Amino acid sequence: MAGALLSAIVEKLGTFISSEFALTGSVEKEVQKLETKFRTIQAVLNDAEKRQLKEEAVKLWLDKLKGVSYEMDDVLDEWNTAMIKEEIEKQQKEDENAEISTTKKRKVWSLILVPNLFQQRDIAHKIKELNEIFDEINKEREMYGFELCKAIEEVVERPKTTSYVDVSDILGRDKVKDDLVSIILGKGTEKEKYPHVISLVGMGGMGKTTLAQLAFNHHEVKDYFEKKIWVCVSEPFDQCRVAKAIVEALAGADPKITELQSLLEKCCELIGGKKCFFVFDDVWTEDYAMWKPFRDALKSSGSQSSRILVTTRKDKVAKMMESTNTIKLEELSEEDCWSVFSKIAFSDKNPKQCEQLEDLGRQISKKCKGLPLAAKTLGSLMHFKKSREEWKNILDSNFWKLEDIERGLFAPLLLSYYDLPSPLKQCFSYCAVFPKDHLFFVDELVSMWIAHGFVESKGNLEMEIMAREYLENLVIRSLFQESREFRHMGYYKMHDIVHDFAQSITKNECFIISSDIESESDYNNARHLRLEIPKESQFPMSIDSAKNLRTLFFFDQSGYNISNLFQNFRLLRVLTLNSTMELPHAVENLIHLRYLDLLKCNEVLLETIYNLCNLQYLKITQASDSVFTKLPQGIGKLINLRHLVGKNFLIPRGIGRLISLRALKCFSISDEDSEGCKLGELKNLNHLQGSFEIHGLGNVVDESEAENAQLKKKIHLREMILSFRKGKDRGWRDAWFPYAVDPNDRRMERDVLVLNALEPPQDLEQLNIRWYQGTTMSPNWLMSLTKLKRVSIVSATKLMSLPPFGKFALLESLTIRNVCSLEKVGVEFLGIESENKKVDIIFPNLRYLGFAWLEEWEEWIGIGGKEDADCITIMPRLQRLEIHGCGKLKSLPNFLHTIPLNELEIAGCPIINERCQRETGEDWHTISHIPIINLKENSYFPKF
């Protein structure tokens, strides 16, 4: 972790010196000194981080180094903040003296101003103090005699594995073992890719090596293969050592050869077309070039029936080795985990002792969360403990604080940890501030990593993309897992034992406090804190000493005066605040803040929040759905804001200056409110990503305003919701109130012109249009959206015909709802033009089609005669068709009988219901091939 921190500081110092900032001579000199000292320390950091595990004095030295590095980071951030504020003030004065027109280009802020003399003097003094502290750290560095430029050695000794195993000791893997053996013995074919690689993937301690040993020693495997070779590969991947081990296993003697080429030639000679079974245990390298010589040698000399089994912690290794089969080892079941634990823990206890301790043992076993190594390690620990009191103490303890557990259980995880690049170490260890079983939402977690500066910039690559790659890397290395329950929503979890490990390596920096009991912990070096004090409990005063906090998750249950937060914790980068209390004006003191999550926010957000010019992420969750949060008029000063997350915002003018915005879920257009936001403010927000809603398009007075929004330049957007409701659109609540139709026909004409002028980006995948009041919907840009997958038209109450959606090749879902003026759906909907019916496939990828509350709909016209049917294929992949609340619909189209529908649901459509009655209905022949048919008298489908 110290390595990543120092690298970031050195980079900032170098940038600081070489930038256009006009430094005074004294400041520049002090900064240059610091940069030199940081670089000197950086050269020996690998050696120091290795030695800290065994030398307490070195660990204390590293803690001191991290402390001064954090301080330096704060000083540089103060300087940069002063730059930003000076430039904002300058720009504001320029704006006040000039009339801003909608066509004026926004000036790009160069940030070249210099803080005032007082600020320079203050920062120079702080840098000088840090230089003096660093002199002392440097002297200690020389005293410890750290080695320069030395590649990091093994921090934890990597255990050497063998093929031997006591089968009687293995529990809970019978099914996986049988499946693995079956794959190993599977008959190969001539077309099969060779060499045939099978990979076992899982986190450290999951039992990969044990399972490989079981397969290696299985009697059928022994009988089937002519040669079996076990190689413990480990890290680093030494090609000559691995080749030598293969030759030695095949020849039965040391080959006395040292060159890789000669060793591989000997391998090929000894294999000689025999059926061989290779096990490469504990592979870490992702470098294909290291593996390729072995792959080529085995391919040229081995039998098609040979097999290679690989154990690894990384998915990338399995992919690099071109695995034919990959088995991901899951946790043991609760009962299997108990069997592993109890067999060891109770091995020499009499039945009475076992009975007395079983209830506690089962609870301890549950803490292993299915990890075999944890069950074995804890079982070994409890083997020597006899009394209930001893067992109860272990149950109530934090496992990572137990020396035996830390040494035995965390050693494999340390190998995974030290294999991480420096930035990933920071990202991983930061997660110790979250509680066990926490669901990590990708967008929130990566935003926090970015806020702390953990994510390294890489050319023009988006920081969010880099951060997601970091998370993917941690998942690949089995340090994170996809949440089974919420996988589709982008949530991840961390295994309890991995979480314990993360806490063990951050025990002086990350804290979770969920009790009002005063702790003996020293919070002076605390950097990240989660506070969940129970309601009516006394707030622990010892927290006030944590003045170096950079993260605070505060869940106010105790009536604590939150103004104290902003007095004591001024170095915060990340703040989550769950409180219905108003933010105090002192919030502007949090100048380093990058991430602010306000839960249960009231209606007014303090104007002073715009002083947080470093803010990157602002999330607002209202106390209730009826609350609208009014953003401050100075919102345009938050020039570093990347994410503005929430709904029901009253957005003022000035948001168009936030050209760094990546996420703005909801944009409401003002009507009569002179201070409100106009559509043209979107013009320069071209970094917006993901989903984007525009409400109040009915307030747009002419199409030129829609053109000014330049939506087509928002090329990173994938989903858009365009709501034409007039006034302040309150989202779903508006659905329950009648739409106030403008008696002036100009409104219908204007909506057509505005929709045509909006022109979304061409890579859009989802489009939702609501409350549109035009009679037609055929904007010029519609057919250019060739990547559309989901479309819904809702409450377009004046619409008389549908667009030619059948032409959209990728469209998977289409919903038409509350289009109550529509009377007929014909060939124009399918995209068939009357003069040219020669179309191959219509709706080629549509899976779902829904019509609801088309109250005037009478006709769904099919295609012509047999000639048309022979040359046209309609909806070949449609799985579900729903028709709700269409009381006047007279019949179903004739092409329905050719569609391979899985499910048809008709509700609140009395005429169609009658025509679709089994065997007797006039349309029964059209739908009789459908497996699931639901005919209902009333519709439950929402109208709006």
Question: Burial level of 108, CB count in 10 A (0-12/13-18/19+)?
Answer: exposed
Of 116 and 873, the structure prediction assigns the larger pLDDT to 873
Contacts of 357 (CB under 8 A, 6+ apart): 346, 349, 388, 391
Answer whether 755's CB lies under 8 Å from 780's CB.
no
Tell me the per-residue pLDDT of 33-43, one tens digit each, with 9 for 90 and over: 777 777 777 77
Answer whether 775's CB lies under 8 Å from 800's CB.
yes
DSSP secondary structure string for all residues of 312-344:
ES-HHHHHHTT-SEEEEPPPPPHHHHHHHHHHH
pTM for the model? 0.77
- Please give the span between the terminal C-alpha atoms of the chain, in angstroms, as a whole number: 52
Q: Closest Cα partner for 566 from 552, 587, 583?
A: 587
Tell me the per-residue pLDDT of 138-188, one tens digit each, with 9 for 90 and over: 788 777 777 654 444 444 555 666 665 555 556 777 888 888 888 888 855
Three-class SS state of 174? helix
Tokens of 940: 């439950």
Question: Burial level of 48, CB count in 10 A (0-12/13-18/19+)?
Answer: buried
Contacts of 461 (CB under 8 A, 6+ apart): none
What pLDDT, on the 0 to 100 scale, is given for residue 151? Answer: 41
Tell me the per-residue pLDDT of 412-428, one tens digit each, with 9 for 90 and over: 777 778 778 888 989 99
Three-class SS state of 230? strand
Answer whether 661's CB lies under 8 Å from 616's CB.
no
Please give the helix or strand (H or E) that residue 224 lies within, else none: helix 219-224
Tokens of 891: 């019949």
Of 240 and 647, the structure prediction assigns the larger pLDDT to 240
CA angle 669, 672, 673 (to 5 degrees): 75
Averaged confidence pLDDT in the chain: 81
Tell me the per-residue pLDDT of 635-647, one tens digit each, with 9 for 90 and over: 888 989 999 988 7
Tell me the per-residue pLDDT of 341-398, one tens digit each, with 9 for 90 and over: 888 888 877 888 888 888 888 888 888 888 887 888 788 778 878 788 888 888 877 7
| Count of CB atoms situated within 10 Å of the CB of 602 | 16
Which residues sit opposite 296 in a β-bridge? none
